[in-house]
Amino acid sequence: MENDRQSYRETVAPAGRATGYQAPLGDERGLDHSTVWRMLIWTGCQLAALTTGRQQIQAHNPCSTCHRFVGAVAPHKFRSPQRELLLRQSRQLVHLIVEWEGTFPEKFFPRFATRSGFC
């Protein structure tokens, strides 16, 4: 979420249109806003993958600045230092993945991270 004013609810339902699918028998399934938060928690906890990914990129390209990306988060997005840290680390990992996939032929997830035993 690069728009710091966008809520998790707006992320899963842009312009009020729910993200999901309609199952047989009229049962509608939709993405809940809490799913976005759970995904951010999971990515924010992947510290070993973040650290090793940075090391691999730096070894391949010493001019890379991936280690300098702070991943700043708007102050209204968190209420505790722990939540701020998770959100920052999540942004750092997403930023790293973009650089990784532009540098190496192998995808970061699932190939590198899972084969390395980080996930």
Q: Give 36-80 pLDDT, tens digit per residue.
A: 889 889 999 898 899 999 999 999 999 999 889 999 998 888 899
pTM greater than the 0.75 cutoff = yes
SS3 107: coil
**Cα angle value 49/38/21 (rounded, 5°):** 115
Name 106's Cβ contacts closer than 8 Å, sequence gap at least 6: 112
Looking at residue 57, its pLDDT comes to 95
Give 27-38 pLDDT, tens digit per residue: 667 778 888 889
* Angle subtended at Cα 94 by Cα 88 and Cα 97, rounded to the nearest 5 degrees: 140
Residues 86-106 have a mean pLDDT of 93
pLDDT at 88 over 60: yes
Domain extents in the chain: 34-115
